[in-house]
Chains A and B, each alone.
Chain A
Amino acid sequence: MSKKNVLFIHFKRYGDLLMLSSVLESYRHAHQDCSLHLLVFEEFAHAAEIIKRVDKVHLFNRQHFNFLKKNHLINKSYLLNDLHSYLESFKEYHFQEIINLSFDQLSMSIISYLSPPSFKGISFDEEFNPKFSNQWAFLFNEIGTQDYASGLHLVDWHHLILEVPYHRLDTSQMIPVKTNPSYNQLAFEQMSSIRKTESSRGKNSYLIGLYLSGSKKEKTLPVSTIARLIQLIIENNLGIPLLLIAPLEKEKKLANEIIALTKEHLITIEMDFISAPSILFNLDLLVTPDTAIKHLAVLTETSMIEISQGMPLLCKHGGRVKGSLIVSKMASMERNKSIESITALDLFQIILLKQKKITLKELKLSRQTTLYQAEEDSLGVFYHYLTGNRNSDYELSQNLSRSLLKAIYFHQFSNSSLHRVLDNFERSEISHWLDFEKECLTLTIKVLLKTLELNRASQGPVVNTATEEQLVMINRLASWPMLLGIPLKVFSAKWANCKEKSSSALEKHLLELKNNIQIYTQLITQISNQEAPSQRTPSKQVHL
């Protein structure tokens, strides 16, 4: 019997594509009899082509289609003919299932055109409204992208949407990306040679790879910061700094600038997607602001210090190796506006911590800088606060959003995981957060009860104006930066997507909201009842 063809549509950039490899690994493990196809934007083909579980990569040349669309010289028939023949070319594969994890309108249109027997993720229905394959796809679309409610990692969202358990490869198994055996051999020999040379000079042969640039300007560290970090590494004999760059002229220029500033004989290594894993295997530590390299390091299980500046959010896109350290500008809604960068001294100290030369207590990070560690619970990976400045309201909402999702959708109230979160905060911080949430809760209950009352008073095929006004207030409350925003956002989205706009349909949704608010209230009560330690010594444990 021939294998079932399954197409994944993933119109994302390098980092997200590499993250997808672990999702594909789990999907393949759960569905052994399928042939996996992957549709990506042509410009990110390099990343897609190294993912091991993919049997065939299909490329979408959006530049070509956009040229035909936007060029006033050319008749639009070229665009339509090309799009038509491109989409029709997928028919030959008879895809049994198409999985759209892109959550954008382009991929939704394509999946709707191809109309497979089964789909997962998001598509369009016949009225061009979003159609979700399960409640997780709906939740991801409505709250997964929201800052205050996105406590789940993207990879964990994807597993929930696909309804497959996370399949962990043990270290004896192969990594989920393709490598070139001759590059592996060459990298091993060259790195060993570097270690040997430095050791013979009495130097520390610990190899520290410094990836120089991020995908965006705001993610990249200033040249002076990298140069200072290198000097600190060399002066304190922490290891051998290696400059890692992509084979691009601008990155070579950047490396030369750093070498000129440090006046040191530094080794620069150019790596593309196929050679990068071979290099990463041989490093003792990687320091990187780049999302693509970060996710490659996750796949090669390279020990890493991740620099998280700007968007996207750490909680959704951070590295997933348990114990890896992430240094970030203070998390808040304004984090992408931060102008202060993480300093060389911050990174130097974190390397010392990684090498167990200082303790967490001795670490003194610069203003607005926070250090996290990747950890796992039953919902997947999250980022545990270790030290530094933080916005406690934001952090509490982020952390507790996991507990709330577990309570609402898995009916799990875990005292131990709640303790784990709360132990990390001062009593005053928890009280401050609780005061705001409770105030919002009182207001929300008033609005909800009034809405229920008004709706019941006017049963009909459409809700009345007074009830509509109440719904506007619920929408407004949903946008507030609070944990309670989660059930409110879910309600607002469900009602917006509901085709039947009768008062009885609204009643059903309002009762579901009421139920979710009751669960939220239980959680808030549980938090209030937690014994707050008097002289709190946060239970921080660093797994290095």
Chain B
Amino acid sequence: MQEKPLDIAHYEILTSKTLHKIPVVNHVQLHSLEDPLLEAKKFIHHFEKQIQEKRNYFVLGLGFGHHLQQLALRAQFYHQDQWEMVVVEPNQRTIADFHLYRPVDLGKKFDILTGPVQDLYSNEKFVRFLSTSPVLLSHPQSIQVYEQYFKDLFSFRANDSIEEIRESIKDPHFKIYLQQFHGDYHLIDCLKEVSNKKSENKFDYLLLTANFLSS
């Protein structure tokens, strides 16, 4: 699936009444021009229970990080340094300006990821982070501006052909084993093929283990 490029017709940085820098994209203010801190506090308050229960937070939309700062404060309160935050921001210009203006200080406790959706899922660190079932926080203004990007982020379907899987298999013996299957096969097809013959390889049972995981 080909992703559509970001449609950014308008981009500017304004200053709020509280003297905070606020990016405005396609005429949508990513934070309040009145009081971005108060707005961010209210937003994060909705997630209080989840922040307390979990230590990993997945945020959609960087904005200028006021919501992230509030999140970091609550996470630090509940978990001291034992928490992690990953932010996905589609607009590289916003990221560059965020680093330039340094509107908030978040320390080193977070990663900002950007770029095509497919590339994100090729990032092992990101996948490992997702596998921890983090709390999902969608920054409303960012979602409004980059709706399609975030839709693509969650409707993505990984290519699960054996050919694609084989590419990323680390163990060389296992990689060779997978070569016996047609490249277009999925795991379920491999299992069918394996179960119709006598097992000659321990990796047959590895595929079986994967198959019986949820039973």
Q: Quick one: CB contact mask for B31-43 with A, threshold 8 Å, 1 for yes? A: 0000000000000
A77/B167 in contact, CB under 8 A:
yes
In Å, the complex CA distance between A120 and B139 comes to 54
Q: Does B101 contact A (CB under 8 A)?
A: no
* Cα(A68)–Cα(B213), bound, Å: 11
- The list of the 9 closest CB pairs from A to B, nearest first, reads A77-B168, A113-B205, A109-B208, A109-B209, A105-B212, A112-B205, A106-B212, A75-B158, A126-B199
Residue with the highest number of chain A CB atoms closer than 10 Å, among B124, B209, B211, B214: B209
Mark out the residues of chain A between 58 and 90 whose CB falls within 8 Å of any chain B CB in the assembled complex. Answer: 62-81, 83-85, 87-88
Q: In the complex, how many angstroms separate the beta carbon of B199 from the nearest chain A beta carbon?
A: 4
User: Chain B's nearest CB lies how many Å from the CB of A79?
Assistant: 6
Place the interface of chain B in its size category: 35 or more
Any chain A CB within 8 A of the CB of B206? Answer: yes
| Any A CB within 8 A of the CB of B119 | no
Q: Is A127 an interface residue (CB 8 A)?
A: yes
Confirm or deny: A358 has a beta carbon within 8 angstroms of a beta carbon on chain B.
no
Confirm or deny: A115 has a beta carbon within 8 angstroms of a beta carbon on chain B: yes
Q: Of residues 120 to 148 in B, which have CB atoms within 8 Å of A's CB atoms? A: 121, 124, 127, 130-131, 133
Nearest Cβ distance between residue B150 and chain A, in whole angstroms? 13
**Which residues, 161 to 207 on B, are CB-close (under 8 Å) to A?**
164-171, 174, 187, 195, 198-200, 202, 205-206
Binding site for A on B (CB under 8 A): 121, 124, 127, 130-131, 133, 154, 156-160, 164-171, 174, 187, 195, 198-200, 202, 205-206, 208-215
CA separation between A124 and B202, bound complex, in Å? 11
Interface size classification for chain A: 35 or more
Contacts A65-B213, A105-B215, A128-B199: A84 and B206 contacting too (C-beta < 8 A)?
yes
Q: Select one of B121, B174, B212 contacting A74, CB under 8 A.
A: B121
Q: What are 7 A-B interface contacts by the 8 Å CB criterion? A: A67-B131, A68-B131, A69-B213, A74-B127, A77-B168, A81-B168, A109-B205
Residues on A with beta carbons closer than 8 Å to the beta carbon of B214: 62, 66, 69-70
| Best-buried of B167, B171, B213 by chain A (most CB within 10 Å) | B213
Closest A residue to B162 using CB positions:
A76
The residues of B that contact A68 with a CB separation of less than 8 Å are 131
In the assembled complex, how far is the CB of residue A383 from the closest CB belonging to chain B, in whole angstroms?
31
Q: Is the CB of B206 within 8 A of A83?
A: yes
Instruction: List the A residue with the shortest CB-CB distance to B167.
Output: A77
Interchain CA distance A78-B211 in the complex, whole Å: 14
Bound Cα distance A8, B166 (Å):
32
Residues in B neighbouring A75, C-beta threshold 8 A: 121, 158-160, 164-165, 168
Alpha-carbon distance A270/B86, docked complex (angstroms): 37
Q: If A81-B168, A113-B202, A115-B202 touch, does A69 touch B210 (CB 8 Å cutoff)?
A: yes
By a CB distance below 8 angstroms, the chain B residues around A115 are 202
How far is the CB of B111 from the nearest CB of chain A, in Å?
17
The answer to whether the Cβ of A104 comes within 8 Å of any Cβ in the partner chain is yes
B residues near A74, Cβ cutoff 8 Å: 121, 127, 130-131, 158
Interface residue from A83, A126, A127, A128 paired with B209 (Cβ < 8 Å): A83
Are A73's CB and B198's CB within 8 A? no
The complex places the Cα of A336 from the Cα of B69 at a distance, in Å, of 52
Provide the residues of chain B in CB contact with A126, threshold 8 Å: 198-200
Report A103-120 CB contacts with B as 1/0, cut-off 8 Å: 011101110110100000
Question: Chain A residues with Cβ under 8 A from B171's Cβ?
Answer: 81, 84-85, 88
A residues in contact with B210, CB < 8 Å: 65, 69, 76, 79-80, 83
Q: What is the bound-complex CA distance between A61 and B166, given in angstroms? A: 24
Please give, as numbers and ranges, the residues of chain A lying within 8 Å of B211 by CB-CB distance: 109
- Of B121, B159, B206, most buried by chain A (CB within 10 Å of CB) is B206
Given A73-B121, A81-B168, are A124 and B213 also a contact pair (CB < 8 Å)? no
Q: Find chain A residues with CB under 8 A from B212 CB.
A: 104-106, 108-109
Q: Would you call A113 and B167 a contact (CB within 8 A)?
A: no
